[in-house]
Amino acid sequence: MKKHYLAVDLGASSGRTMVGTFEDGKLSLKEMNRFWNGPTEVRGTLLWDFVHLFRNIKEGIALAKKEFGNGLVSMGIDTWGVDFGLFDADGTLLRNPVHYRDSRTEGMFEKVFERVPKEEVFAQTGLQFMELNTLYQLMSLSQADSFQYRAAAKMLFVPDLLNYWLTGNMKAERSFASTSQFYNPATKDWAFDLLEKLGIRTDLFAELVDPGTVVGDADGLPVVAVGSHDTASAFAAVPVAEGEHCAFLSSGTWSLLGTELPEPVINDDVLAANFTNEVGVCDTIRFLKNLSGLWIIQELRRVWNEEGFDYSWQAMEHMALEAKPFEFFVDPSDDVFLAPGDMATRIQDYCERTGQARPETHAQILRTAYEGLALLYASAYETLDKLTGRTLGTLRIVGGGCKDTLLDQLAANATGRKVITGPIEATATGNLIMQMLAMGDIQSLEEGCEIIRNSFAEETKIFEPQEQAAWRDALDKWRTINNK
């Protein structure tokens, strides 16, 4: 019997609704609609357009119901991390959520650490320090005595906000909450003590629920709080074989490199390495580092195309391959590359600032960006092995970024590990698997992994490491230049 499930998958640059059809042990995907997502600047603040997102989600639901009718079993939403909306006592959204790249969190590290030492923040949360984290967004509202902050009765993270608009129920899904830096993965509750010391309101938070919880219904369609952080859904879709010890890389605008563990790892070494403990599905911890991803390549293409060059992704990969390797070294995770803008000039300026020559051609700039990403992965991979005490022999890359075969091969070269890619639609697939689990149509995540292997075998590609000596030398030079 065919069964159909609707996944709403919202990334930082686009959203889509997809129906997964399960039949004869295999899952197939069909896109219902796709729509733009991104920030709009309003009087100096970067905002998300949530009415636009909700309208398109409703359209996707209507299209799915029209095509699949009563065969549609459930739906679930996954999104990017850390952002949120504030609601008044009547349940009205007070303002469109602010984009995580907005400048309001600048200087908030210092404000937080004046009240609570960095070591204590990490001891309570186990989370990687990024100034875009929800903790620093809330601190900025508290410091500014924001009207919305004072008037709010409830705070909901992005997927929880959309679930509330669909169902009328306010819940906080745990995998997403764990990205806030005010969730304690050891106690499995909000870090109330930390928030009280910081003077941040503790009465705003909704009841926590685990991934795979049905939180209500949208016009009769059950709504599942899946692994609603998109990385949680992506990791749930990695088709790991029994007994395999591997690292995961969710590749897209951001790169999330890590592995799954049964318990959080919170110690001084993890703090020094700025790794993170986020909640995964089925009572796991996503032990990982949030790294720069294809954002820098995406921005290069966007700006160059606005200047009239009209480069395709394939043309950019070909240009990078033509350029001489290992001429210039940048760290794509540097804060200078965080905001939208002219990445080519920033790469050139970065090279000059670090005592290197200035890459001039588009091919040189692309090669520099690609190699910088691969070497960033290699450095983080070595640290991951040390912190977990494991030998993670394979790197599995999932998500839309794994279609970039140049970066896949460079990642294999830089890490010295075999790379296996797929599935491409990892977040949507993990979202669907968690719905199937919640609705009782499969009995375990292992069963879900078997379904994924059977369903997307044709997407699997293997990349063996090449030119190892040259890449080891390049990693040493990259570390020296970037003080890693």
User: What is the rounded CA–CA span in Å between residue 276 and residue 287?
Assistant: 6
Burial class (CB in 10 A: 0-12, 13-18, 19+), 257: buried
Instruction: Judge contact between 82 and 100, C-beta under 8 A.
Output: yes
User: DSSP string covering 27-85, please?
Assistant: EEEEEEEEEE---EEETTEEE--HHHHHHHHHHHHHHHHHHHGGGEEEEEEEE-SS-EE
Residue 282 has φ and ψ, to the nearest 5°, of 55, 45
Based on the residue annotation, tell me whether 102 is a catalytic residue of this protein.
Answer: no
Question: What b/e string do you get for 193-210 counting C-beta neighbours within 10 Å, with b at 16 or more?
Answer: ebbeebebbeebbbebbb
Instruction: Judge contact between 247 and 257, C-beta under 8 A.
Output: yes
Instruction: Judge contact between 76 and 223, C-beta under 8 A.
Output: yes
**Distances in whole angstroms, Cα of residue 406 to Cα of each of 207, 315, 337, 433:** 44, 12, 21, 29
Q: What tokens does 300 get? A: 């290069």
- Among 9, 78, 230, 408, which one carries the catalytic annotation? 230
What is the distance in angstroms between the CA of the first residue and the CA of the last residue of the chain? 55
User: What is the rounded CA–CA span in Å between residue 22 and residue 432?
Assistant: 10
Q: What tokens does 263 get? A: 């318990």
Instruction: Judge contact between 369 and 297, C-beta under 8 A.
Output: yes
Instruction: Judge contact between 207 and 58, C-beta under 8 A.
Output: no
Give every strand in the sheet of 246-251, ordered side by side: 276-279, 285-292, 254-261, 246-251, 394-398, 418-421, 461-463
Percentages of the chain per state (helix, strand, coil), in multiples of 5: 45, 25, 35
**Residue 17: DSSP 8-state:** E
- Catalytic residue positions, numbered: 230
